[in-house]
């Protein structure tokens, strides 16, 4: 602080009244801006959690429907070829319904709509378990066609299974590269 010739106080070469006016103006701009940023950040994180939770719920519902189908709609061992093909068509649709929400969840994560690392890490293991489940279902279909020879995979269906199996592997690659939360970080974060 200094003093000018007329006896008025100055700060940084400004009269005290001018300095206080500039300071009040800066505070009036900075505080609402910081509040907006913090509020937006919290809202964005909440939205990511909500989307992730909804996606996981859709996966769970589809997964449960697939399990119910496997338990209740048994493969027609002694049935006709048409019965077996009909069963296979329903089975493949049920499997596909499990892969849709995973595809969507993975898309949102790769497009950074869900980018909070903690949210992605939280869902990582359950998504990987579901992807393993899908891999096993596709392996079942291929085993039934090649080893057991109880179904016939037409070229279209074989191509469909191969495409979806490749998609499962691609999704697995994304989710496997999300590191897990280490015990050390859980304790000290």
Query: Which pTM was predicted?
Result: 0.71
Q: What is the DSSP secondary structure assignment for residue 112, as one 8-state letter?
A: T
Q: Give pLDDT tens digits for 93-150.
A: 999 999 999 999 999 999 988 888 889 999 999 999 999 999 999 998 888 888 777 7
pLDDT band of residue 64 (cuts 50, 70, 90) is very high
Residues in the chain: 189
Reading the block at residue 59, the tokens are 């996966």
Supply the pLDDT for residue 107: 93
Average the pLDDT over 159-188 and give the result.
80
Tell me what pLDDT residue 165 has.
92
Q: What is the pLDDT of residue 19?
A: 81
Residue 67 CA to residue 86 CA, distance in Å, equals 18
**Predicted confidence (pLDDT) at residue 44 exceeds the cutoff of 60:** yes
Categorize the per-residue pLDDT at 14 as very low, low, confident or very high, splitting at 50, 70 and 90: confident
From 146, 106, 99, 100, select the one nearest 124 (Cα to Cα).
106
């Amino acid at each position: 602080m200094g003093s000018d010739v007329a006896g008025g106080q100055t700060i940084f070469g400004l009269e005290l009244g001018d300095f206080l006016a500039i300071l009040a103006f800066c505070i009036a701009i900075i505080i609402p801006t910081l509040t907006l940023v913090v509020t937006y950040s919290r809202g964005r994180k909440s939205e990511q959690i909500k989307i992730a939770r909804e996606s996981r719920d859709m996966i769970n519902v589809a997964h449960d429907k697939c399990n119910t189908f496997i338990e209740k709609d048994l493969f027609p061992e002694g049935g006709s070829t048409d019965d077996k093909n009909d069963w296979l068509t329903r089975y493949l649709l049920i499997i596909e319904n499990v892969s849709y929400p995973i595809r969507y969840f993975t898309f949102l994560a790769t497009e950074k709509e869900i980018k909070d690392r903690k949210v992605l890490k939280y869902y990582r293991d359950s998504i990987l378990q579901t992807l393993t489940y899908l891999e096993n279902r596709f392996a079942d279909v291929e085993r039934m066609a090649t080893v057991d020879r109880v179904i016939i995979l037409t070229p279209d269906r074989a191509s469909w299974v191969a495409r979806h199996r490749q998609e499962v592997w691609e999704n697995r690659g994304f989710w496997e590269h999300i590191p897990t939360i280490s015990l050390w970080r859980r304790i000290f974060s």
